[in-house]
Structure 1
Amino acid sequence: MDEIETQVGKTKNKPIMVSVCVVTYNHGKYIGECLDHILNQERDFEIEVLIHDDASTDNAQEVIRGYQERYPDIIKPILRTENQYSKGITNISGAFNFPRAVGKYVALTDGDDYWCDPLKLKKQVSYMEAHPECVFTFHSAKVVSEDGALVNGELMRPYKQSRVVKPEELVDKAVGSPFASFLLRREIVEKLPDYYVDCPVGDRPLELMAAAAGDSYYFDEPMSVYRFAIGGSWTESQMTGDYIRKQEKFAEDLWKMYRRFDEVTGGRFHEAAMRAGGRNEFLTKVNVRDFKTIFKPEYREFFNELNLRDRFFIGFEYRMPKLYNWLRNRKNGR
């Protein structure tokens, strides 16, 4: 068999409120912590945990089987023997988890991240139950390195206060949102547009889909933890091989996504979508340190959106590259 799957429509004969969709690949070190924090959520409603493991070569599937045995009504895994991502299926949640979700809401997380607030789901569900016009809620996150050290407290904090986020704002957002913060009404993901299916990442098109459906709400609380650039992650994979070409390809793919979103929504969010595409193009130039482009006048607004620390070090590297590289190598012990 290519997979092991358990599918149960109800938990303890009660309707499921939230389908938690988890994607994992070689997350054996982390998946237990991820599942513990999901299972330890304080809630007065039922959940299911839909896991897709993409043929991990570590002990991730063994760990998942252990949780399935202990929580057979909640943990519902697909354990692959062949890697689906390598076959061109880039958005695993949409291909394998969303179609089997039966909850009123869909929550998401990668297997190497975890929820650090035991009231996370209850807060989000309570808000959405009280505000039927809200189609999507999300929040900030703590960002840590593989060893658990804090990386940047502002990296996953798109807004400075809890508030309603209008559709145009969600499309044209300067700072990324943690995937593990997402809670959407299930009807949003029941029919996936091609700009989601074809995109190399799953978070940004989901935000666009939510924007097309209505208002969102942002909690300015770090209710999850995002592990940055760990081994085997998408971010880490981008840093290997021909990094510059990968960044260029990523920018091209996201431009396609924004343009297709613009078409599908009849131009309702045209200005916001074009600004978002331009911002992403600028950020890829920052990543590859294309200083000639970074400091062009047409990108000044995007440059000023960067935090003070990033602007300082970009300017430092541009004006004094030898000193910058010497200090960086010394810091890294080289």
Structure 2
Amino acid sequence: MNTQQNPLIVSVGIVAHNHVNYIARAIESVLHQKVSFAIDLIIFDDASSDGTAEIIEKYQKDYPDIIRIFLQKEKKGQVAIARELASEMKGKYSAWLDADDFWTYHGKLQCQIDFLEQNSDYTACFHDAMIKSSVATEPNALPTAIQQAHDKYRYYSQFNTYSPDFYPHNLLRRNIIPTASLVFRNRDFMPFFNSFHLPPYSFSWALQLFIIRQSRFYYFNRCWSVYLDHTEGFSKKQSADSFSLNNVRILKSLLKDNYYKRFKNKIYLSIAAEYDCIIYQPSDGKYVREYARKSQAAYFKAWWWSAIYYLMETIHSLFVSKK
């Protein structure tokens, strides 16, 4: 890693909990970055019991000028640890890396930082990620893990729609940005954490919606990281229905946001899509009918607000043309 004399600092955060089989590769992928700036690698271990903390301690001793570690004695949970991590990230730019994911291109950070330095009107930039799924072949995989598996896809771009200029309304439609791919301008994240009181499902998506607010991201059509899809992953321990219902809660909270409420039509479309995801899961007829009604109501509200926005734009255009 070449840091030279550039005063610019990039904070990289990793949160680990019982990732003994993965944490070393994640850390190595950061240390192998070839950059012209300093990297401040901050690692939080959330009370692991499998030897993860010992591996983290060894790396910190080997790289004391780069790595800072925080080892928790009692498990705090994803959101609480993320809050503490955010408060420790002091660099001009930040990147988060899940402990079971890793970067594959040694010039990833340099490319993304160069772009953000030259384009101040973008809040962040991201790229595609490869998916390596082992869920289907792992013995004793829980039904929730199989239900959430991504074994049908090899890349995120195969089931998400990305464009070079990626706007808030694109993210509202649940186009998933790989956590390991995002590099963003640092800011005060406490307003987000103070207002986030939901289960940690889709936490990364909610945080990204906060980051992109009133701005846009840039998408690099390159694959520079790997997402490991395995039965020990957090998402594989929750049902698909739990994720969809929590996504609905996140979307409904945005209806009250002073910025996002201008996208009510798109928010309701996304809410309807989440209900549709539940409908298409195996369940009894009563369960299907309940969410089918909610989906239809959300589609109607999306249509209603689209009509309202169209009417407002038409009136505005007529008013401007008369001047």
Asked if 1:82 corresponds to 2:70, the answer is no
Asked if 1:123 corresponds to 2:111, the answer is yes
Whichever residue aligns with residue 135 of structure 1, its letter is: T
Counterparts of 2:181 and 2:199, CA distance in 1 = 20
Query: 1:191: Cα distance to partner?
Result: 3.2
Partner of 2:254: 261
Contact 1:34 1:113 in 2 (8 A): yes
Partner of 1:305: none
Asked if 1:191 corresponds to 2:191, the answer is yes
Query: 1:107: Cα distance to partner?
Result: 0.3
Whichever residue aligns with residue 130 of structure 1, its letter is: Q
Structure 1 pair 13–284 and aligned structure 2 pair: CA distance change class (3 A): farther
Structure 1 pair 270–259 and aligned structure 2 pair: CA distance change class (3 A): same
Structure 1 pair 273–84 and aligned structure 2 pair: CA distance change class (3 A): same
Contact 2:276 2:292 in 1 (8 A): no
Structure 1 pair 148–12 and aligned structure 2 pair: CA distance change class (3 A): farther
Counterparts of 2:244 and 2:173, CA distance in 1 = 15
Contact 2:47 2:73 in 1 (8 A): yes
Whichever residue aligns with residue 82 of structure 1, its letter is: E
Partner of 1:213: 214
TM score, norm. by length of structure 1: 0.73
Partner of 1:30: 22
Structure 1 pair 118–270 and aligned structure 2 pair: CA distance change class (3 A): same
CA deviations on 1:116-172 (whole Å, 9 max, x unpaired) are 111111111111111111012121111112499993224455656650112211222
Q: 1:276 aligns with which of 267, 270, 283?
A: 270
Query: 1:93: Cα distance to partner?
Result: 4.9
1:20-169 alignment runs, 5 A limit: 20-85=12-77, 90-146=78-134, 151=151, 152-155=153-156, 157=158, 163-169=164-170
Counterparts of 1:161 and 1:290, CA distance in 2 = 32
Whichever residue aligns with residue 208 of structure 2, its letter is: E
Asked if 1:180 corresponds to 2:168, the answer is no
Whichever residue aligns with residue 61 of structure 2, its letter is: E
Whichever residue aligns with residue 89 of structure 2, its letter is: A
Counterparts of 1:223 and 1:68, CA distance in 2 = 25
Query: 1:29: Cα distance to partner?
Result: 0.7
Query: 1:114: Cα distance to partner?
Result: 0.3
Q: Percent identity?
A: 24
Mind listing any 5+ residue stretches in structure 2 that lack a counterpart? 138-149, 300-323
Whichever residue aligns with residue 283 of structure 1, its letter is: C
Counterparts of 1:13 and 1:42, CA distance in 2 = 14
Mind listing any 5+ residue stretches in structure 1 that lack a counterpart? 1-10, 303-334
TM score, norm. by length of structure 2: 0.75
Query: 1:72: Cα distance to partner?
Result: 0.8
Asked if 1:171 corresponds to 2:172, the answer is yes
Structure 1 pair 93–20 and aligned structure 2 pair: CA distance change class (3 A): farther
Contact 1:200 1:250 in 2 (8 A): no
Contact 1:157 1:176 in 2 (8 A): no
Whichever residue aligns with residue 41 of structure 1, its letter is: Q
Query: 1:265: Cα distance to partner?
Result: 2.8
Counterparts of 1:51 and 1:29, CA distance in 2 = 16
Contact 1:19 1:106 in 2 (8 A): yes
CA deviations on 1:41-80 (whole Å, 9 max, x unpaired) are 1111111111111111111101000100011121111111
SS at match of 2:34: coil
Contact 2:132 2:227 in 1 (8 A): yes
